[in-house]
Every structure is written in structure tokens, then in C-alpha cells.
Amino acid sequence: MATKPKMKPRRNHVRLLLTALYWGVIIAFVTLTAGLGYGYSLVYDLERPTLTAARPAESSTVLDVHGEVITQLHAVQHRISVPLAQMPEHLVEAVVVMEDIRFYEHFGFSPRDFVRALWLTATGQDRQGGSTITQQVARNRILDDLRFSVRRKVREIYVAFRLEQKYTKAEILEAYLNEIFLGGSAYGFQAAAQQYFGKNVSDLTLAESAMLVGVIPAPNAWRPREGNMEAAMQRQRLVLSELVRHGRITEAQRQAALDTQITLARARQHEPETSLTNYFVDHVVAQVRQWIVNTQRISEQEADDYILRGGLTIHTTLDLTMQRAAQQAALEIFTQPNGVLERLRRHARDTDPNLEIRRLAQSPDFEWARFTRNPRGELELSGLQPQVSALFIEPSSGAIRVWLGGRDMVGRFGIDRVSREQNQPGSAIKPLVVYGPALALGGRTIASTVDDAPVTFPTGDPTAPEFSPRNFDVNTFHGHTSFRTGMARSFNVMAVKLFQSVGWQRALNWAEMLGLRFERTGRSNDNDSLSVALGGLTKGFTLHEMVAAYNVFNNRGVYVAPHSLLRITSRTGSVLYEARPPERRIVLTEQLAWLMTDLMRGTVESQGGVVGTGHFGLRNATMGRFAGQVSGKTGTTNDNLDAVFVGFNPQFTGGVWLGHDDSSTGSPRQVRPNEPPHPTRSIHTTAGSVSDNRARGGMPSSGANAVGSGTATAIFGRTLSHYYRAINVTAFPTFQTEWYEEYGVFGPPRRLGLVRQRFSRLSGKYPSALTPSADIAHDWFIRGTEPRPEDPCDMHVMVAICNESNALAGPYCPPASVTMQLRVRREPYAEVFDTGGNRLHPVDHARQVPFEQCPVHRAPPTNGGSSTPPGS
């Protein structure tokens, strides 16, 4: 039987290869056709590009939360075109080296540079670059929605390719050099040369050219100007080094350029930098710019250009009605005819300037004022300072409603008194690091007391081994004090003792849950520092951080990050950016948040708090009407450079800072995130100043009537008054309360489960049979922490007192000289003296159980009479 012949393997392989090739050609053809069709669909509507047809600029608009226009953002353009032949060769070389090293080799698009930029972006090493000079010129010829997309890139590459076909490299380069944005109002190198150096571009030196080229990636951040020369020179050094590396200049030329003195042109005051001058707008535009750079993979220069020319609509959280109220309040306090500064100047004109200004400067409302001497030797009020800032947010959402950056009402890029400038909070820190942690961690209640008596702490400084904190009234110690009184009257001794008992590590950890940041490392830090209890910090906090921290109390124990940007839409209405819900986290129980809120109401209600009378009646006239409707705390520093009030009502949480940027220059002392080394803190005592590098035990003085806090409080109160008047609200919002029939009082919402109980003012415990009615009070407690009858007050005791010595009766005191008296137990306190050498005692020391036995009757009576004391 014949066998069937086998097929040859080679024939099968050839057939498979031909089949694969056939389908490969078809797929490639279809893919190419589809790609060309898709590419055409992306560019078919583009007009023929020319170098004279730059895209039209369309202003961007910033809106408030109600859709009212805050401002229009548009480029104030100063542009002067000059021929390429008038451009210095070293300028042209520097631009090519830094922006497009293969400019003369590519055909408008550099695949190598583009792929490299994509790789760097994907790996997180860079978010800029990849565009040739021709592409950057092309970008100004088309106007697309701001998206890092295939569509935008294809259109950009197509226009660049067409420009390269139509124009020479020299023509393209000339267009680029005449239209590139270089900061301020300068577009093109001729305008920049005039703006920064007061000369024509043809006269620029190598050093000046390198400095201008260096600013291209981020013009407003790196441009040469007073106060910013270090950044500009850093970029200059980079450009010169690149020129040497690519062989465009020699090392000797580089060194000569570095040695060249740069002289800036005098700025023309009438020429605006840009229209982005409002403090809040500065803040919002910075966020928009950063979002564009981070997500759209373009440079800061391109982002700024698009913000100013791209027709964006930026929706924000600001409430212009309330913003105007805050501005009006600040104007009234400082600049209007009846304002603070005018009254000071009026008094200075009508009386002897030296005597009258000194007198006014010693009043509680005006000790923040700074004075200089004129050529005649007279004291004059400084016009530059003090400055002011304010921030108000909505409690539940964290939406920023007011952002007041300064008294001049316009922004100055680089000074941000709300979110970057750090200042000492003074006593405004006490709820955050003292009373809050004490209630949350220290096993204490609202009824707890602290003995405000003389005390000393070791400082670790051999030149001043001990430190005795003092209250604002210096030589007065107030004895056994409740939390409410201590908070309302801002007693320092009590705060320091509480802070120490809770423990600095636990207290700072607790405060950091509220969003505060302390210095924990470095030679100077906040670790183990008693000064923290009174606001003596290494660097301080921003007003933004303080308001966010206080808002936790107002928002039922929930931290919510303040935010200002809602969405960004393009000129066609498409949404480019939609804000995510802000960060939220529960950090306190709602019960504790309510107790802290109620505790801080005392600082507004009490005559010992911020409402107390002040010079010109600033305090009573503005905050008294809000008694019971606002909670908050004042804070000042011992050098009178800072005063702050942070407070809240049910609708808003806000803060007002008043102080001096700098006593001489007006520049910020500390800013985030670029934080220079903080100077040694000067810690004041009644004996003088103690230089304390780590602030061990030292602290600034502060108190209820501390300087400047009345003015800060006045601005806060007037902001609310003007706002509610503007929206026709006559009944101010009040904290939610409910009627408790069993107690006969209004109290917290019943859902919180708080209970009301009586207690001894001296011990915080349940009153005993010996507790006088004057020492009994009532307050609210978290259930389970209220004082109980089984643990009665042990502070009041009956003791035998010798009337002749007012000391404890001894076995030899005559019965007729001994009486049983109701006294108060007290632990021994430190020996502290005033400047006259007199020992200081608490104000209630007459009620205390004496520490010593009668020194008069130390031996049995010589007449043989009985000396047994009563009750023995």
C-alpha cells in the first residue's frame, strides 16, 4: 500500500509569512489612514499661521462665591520689537542654549527632547520642557482650552512645522525674542532691558543678558528687582555655566560676568507690575498657577501667560460683602478721621508731641505704636507700621470668606501676612496647648482649679538658673483660680503650671492634631519649653494656621482645611478644574468642643476679658454687643510687635493680626515655607531680659489688657457688625442652647449628654459641709466627670488659730488667744520678691492655713495657767 507524501515544512512557513505580511500591510495602511484622518481632524480648522498673528489675549475673571466679579486678570503689556541684528550675540546664544539647544537642527519639533521630557515627567523629575522655540512661538498663534492633551500637542507641532516651512530660523527667533514674557509688564527683551536695567537691549552686558535669560521659566519669581536679587543671580550663574559647558563663552568670560556689578533701573511708581495685586487674588492665582504647572506639564511662565491671556473664569469662596466689611473695619480703626492713627496724630498736633505720644503709647490700645524722631527731635508716628491682616472662614466647609492681607489693601508679591508670615500668638495659644490638652488629657474638668501662687522653674541657664512667671499685673498672684477665670483673665502662672502638669510632649502632640506645627528639631526648638504655654515659640504660627485650629472648636471637633478655590472654567465654559472636598478629620469629641467654646465665651463676656474698658472705648464699643455670641482669645507678645484675636460665632471663625512686619523695613520676620533661621528669643522677666536659645522656662508676658489686643478685637467685632448690617440681619447668630427645666437655665444641646453640677470654686470638687456658699458655683460636665458627693471638697478645714500671731495655735497658746477658723489648705509656694525686696503672696493668702506654728507662745506659761487649745 502506497504511503501519502508529507508536506514540506518550508512551504507552510512561506505561506504563513506571506499571510502575516499581507495583514500587516493592511493594518498599517488602516492605522496610517486613521492616524492621518485623526490628525487632520485636529488641525483642519487652524488658519495659516504667520509670525505677525499672535493669538488674541482674553482677560481671565475671578469671581466670589456669589458670582460677583472680584477682578479681571489681564496682561499689562509693555512690548517693543527690535530686529534680531540689534540683539547682542551673547543674548541670542544664551536663549538657544537654555531653551532649545538643537534649534538650528530640527524642523520645528524635536522628538528626542519631547520623549525625554515625557520620561522626566513620568518619573517625577521634571514637569517642564520638551517644547522647541518654534513650538513656543506656535503656541501664541493658537488658542485652545488649557489641557495637556494629544489634541493640543498635535496642533502645536503642526503650527510649528508650518512656521518652519514658511520662515527662516532667524525670523522665528526674532519673533520669540520680541514676545517672550519676562516678568512684570515686560514682553520681549527690549522691554525687559528697559524695565530692569534702564537701557536698550543692544547695550546689555553678558551678565545682564544671562540674568534676563535665566528668568524665562518663572519670570515673576526670578526677575531682577530689589529684594529678589539673590534668586536672579542664582539663575544668572546657571546660565553662564551652561554657556561655558556648550562652548559659547570661555571660563574667563564667565568669571568676568560674575564680577560685573548689576545696576537696576529705578522703578516707575506709576507703572503697574500686573493686575494681580489684590492679596486674595495673589493667593488664588498662586494656586491656579501651581495647579497648571503640576497637572498640565507646562512652565510657570506659560502658566502665568495663560492666566493673564487665556480667558479663564476662576470661581472662589470669597464673599465680597464680608470682605468689604473687613476692609471698612480696618479703615475705620486706622485711617479714617476718627480712626486710631488720626487720633494719635491729632493729639500729637494739639499738645506737646513728646509728652502726649508717650502718654497715649502707654494706654492698652496703642502700645503697639512705633515712633521715630523727626529732624527737630520730636516723636512722630511711623506711617509704614503697624500692619493688619484678617481671615474669616465658614466653620463647616472651611471656605474662606475674608482674606485681608494688609492696611494698604493691595497685594505685594512676597509678603503674605495671612498664610506665610509667622508671628508669635501670645496668649491666643492657651486654648490650644494648655486648656484644651488639660481637659482632653489631664483628667481635669471645667471646675478644676490651679493655685496661682509664686512658683519658680529651672531654666538651664547658669546666668539665670531660676525663672518665676508673672501675670500681666506683674506682682499679683490670684490664688486658687478656676479654668473659667484663668482663661477669661489670661493668667500666665496658671497656664504654665497646667502646661507642665500635662507635659509638653503630650500638649504639643494634641495641638498638632489641630493643624499647628512646632519646631521639634534644631538647636532652637519648642521641645520642653515652658514659653510655649504663653506663645513664646521658635517661629510662631501663621494666621491661617491659628484660624484653622480654632475652627475645630467651632466645627464640633472636626478639623477642616481652609480653602479658597472652587473651580476653573475655560473661555468656552468647560470645567478645567473642580475642587475636591477639603481635608476633614475628627480630632475632638463634640462634648469637648462645646466646653471649649463655652469656656472661651468668658473672654468676650467678662470685664476681665477682652471687653474691658480701653482707651477711646474701642473694646466696649465693638465687642460688648457680641457678649455671649462670640468665643475667642486674645494674644500679645512682650515686645508689642504682635497682637491677635482669634474668635468665632456660629457662622464664622476668624482671626485678626495686628503688628509690625519689621520695625524698620516692613519685611516679614518669618515666612513659610522658606524659613530663615529664627533669632534668639528674648524672654522677659521683672528683673530684665534673659537670653534663652532654647527658651527653657522663659516666657513673654501677656494678659487680659495686653497691648494691642483691644484694637485687633475691635476690627473683628466691626467686621461682623458691618457684614450683618450689609445683609440686613438685625438678630446676630447665637450658639445653640436648650432650656433645662431641672436646672432652670439654658444649656448645651441635650444630644451632647452634658450634665450640670455644683462644685467648690477652690477645689473643683463637690462642696462639703464646710464650703461657704460664696465658694460654690455651677457648671457643665461630660457625664461621668462631674463632681460627686462621695468625693467632697477637702480644701476648707477648721483649724485653731492663735489670734496674736495669726499662725497655727501651738500647745502653749493661751485659750483666750485661740479661735477655730475656717481656712483653706494650700501647698507651700516659692519665695518670690518684688523689686523692693518684699515677698509676694497670693491675694487670698489671708484665708490659707498657716504654714507655721505660733512663734509667740513657744514655752509653757509662767503663771501655770492652762494652755490647752480648744478642740484638743
CATH of the domain at 422: 3.40.710.10
pLDDT at 616: 32
| Residue 727 to residues 627, 724, 731, 829, Cα–Cα distance (Å) | 21, 5, 11, 55
- What was the pLDDT predicted at 592? 96
- Considering the domain architecture, whether residues 145 and 211 belong to the same structural domain is answered as yes
Do 645 and 777 reside in the same domain of the chain?
A: no
Least confident of 264-268, 285-289, 677-681: 677-681
Backbone angles phi, psi at 387, to 5 degrees: -110, 175
In angstroms, the Cα distances linking 685 to 474, 688, 699, 712, 762 are 9, 5, 8, 25, 28
Could you tell me if 179 and 206 lie in one domain?
Answer: yes
Kindly report, residue by residue over 632-662, the tens digit of the pLDDT.
998 887 666 678 999 999 999 999 998 876 5
- What integer is the mean pLDDT of 153-165? 76
Distance between CA 275 and CA 543 in Å, rounded? 25
**4 — pLDDT class (breaks 50, 70, 90):** low
Are 744 and 693 found together in one domain? no
The three cell numbers of residue 854 are: 505660733
pLDDT of the residue at 106: 84
In a domain, 279, yes or no: no
What is the mean pLDDT of the segment spanning 777-804? 94
Mean pLDDT value of segment 766-772: 95
Query: Does residue 696 have a pLDDT over 60?
Result: no
Tell me if 597 is assigned to some domain: yes
Inside any domain, residue 714: yes
Domain assignment present for 441: yes
Which residue did the predictor score with more confidence, 547 or 695? Answer: 547
Is residue 29 predicted with pLDDT exceeding 80?
A: no
Q: In the chain, pLDDT over 90 holds for what percent of residues?
A: 41
List, in order, residues 6 or more apart from 318 with CB less than 8 Å away: 64, 65, 70, 280, 400, 401, 402, 403, 564
Q: What is the pLDDT of residues 741-762, one digit of tens each?
A: 988 999 999 999 999 999 999 9
Q: How many residues does the chain have?
A: 872
- Res 678: pLDDT: 30
More reliable by pLDDT, 340 or 12: 12
Residue 684 shares a structural domain with residue 747:
no
**For residue 100, what are the contacts with CB-CB under 8 A and spacing of at least 6?**
110, 113, 132, 133, 134
201: exposed, middle or buried (C-beta count within 10 Å: 0-12, 13-18, 19+)? buried
296 has pLDDT over 70: yes
- Check residue 45 and give its pLDDT: 47
Q: Is the residue at 86 inside a domain? A: yes
Range of the domain at 764: 738-782
* Overall average pLDDT of the 231-235 stretch: 92
At 84, list the grid cell: 534680531
Band of the pLDDT at 282, cuts 50, 70, 90? confident
**Comparing C-alpha atoms, which of 321, 301, 111 is closest to residue 219?**
301
Cα dist. 396→325, 422, 731, 805 in Å? 21, 25, 21, 61
The arithmetic mean of pLDDT across residues 371-396, rounded, is 68
For residues 624 and 764, membership in a common domain is answered with no
Cis peptide before 673 (omega within 30 of 0): yes
Listed residues 273, 289, 320: the one ending a domain: 273
In a domain, 851, yes or no: no
Per-residue pLDDT at 253: 94
708 shares a domain with 761 = no
For residue 752, being part of any structural domain is answered with: yes
Residue 432 gets which letter from DSSP? I
Domain count for the chain, please give it: 3
Q: What is the CA radius of gyration of the chain?
A: 36
Please give the grid coordinates belonging to residue 35: 492616524
Q: Best-predicted range by mean pLDDT among 8-22, 473-487, 722-736?
A: 473-487
Percent share of the chain, pLDDT over 70: 72
516 and 644 share one domain: yes
Going by pLDDT thresholds of 50, 70 and 90, the confidence category of residue 559 is: very high
Determine the pLDDT at residue 676.
Answer: 31
Q: Is residue 338 domain-resident? A: no
Together in a domain, 629 and 560: yes
Q: Please indicate, yes or no, whether residues 660 and 613 belong to a single structural domain of this protein.
A: yes
- CA pair distance 133, 139, nearest whole angstrom: 10
Place of cell 502653749: 812
Residues 507 and 456 reside in one and the same domain: yes
Tell me: pLDDT of 349 over 70.
Answer: no
Average of per-residue pLDDT values in the chain: 78
**Which residue, 782, 812, 846, sits at the end of a domain?**
782
What are the Cα distances from residue 644, in Å, to 39, 364, 391, 633? 60, 14, 11, 8
> pLDDT grade, residue 398 (50/70/90)?
very high
More confident residue, 737 or 682: 737
- CATH number of the domain that 105 lies in? 1.10.3810.10
Whether 227 and 268 share a structural domain: yes
d(CA 347, CA 340): 11
Lowest mean pLDDT segment, chosen from 158-162, 254-258, 504-508, 568-572 = 158-162
Confidence of residue 301 (pLDDT cuts 50, 70, 90): confident
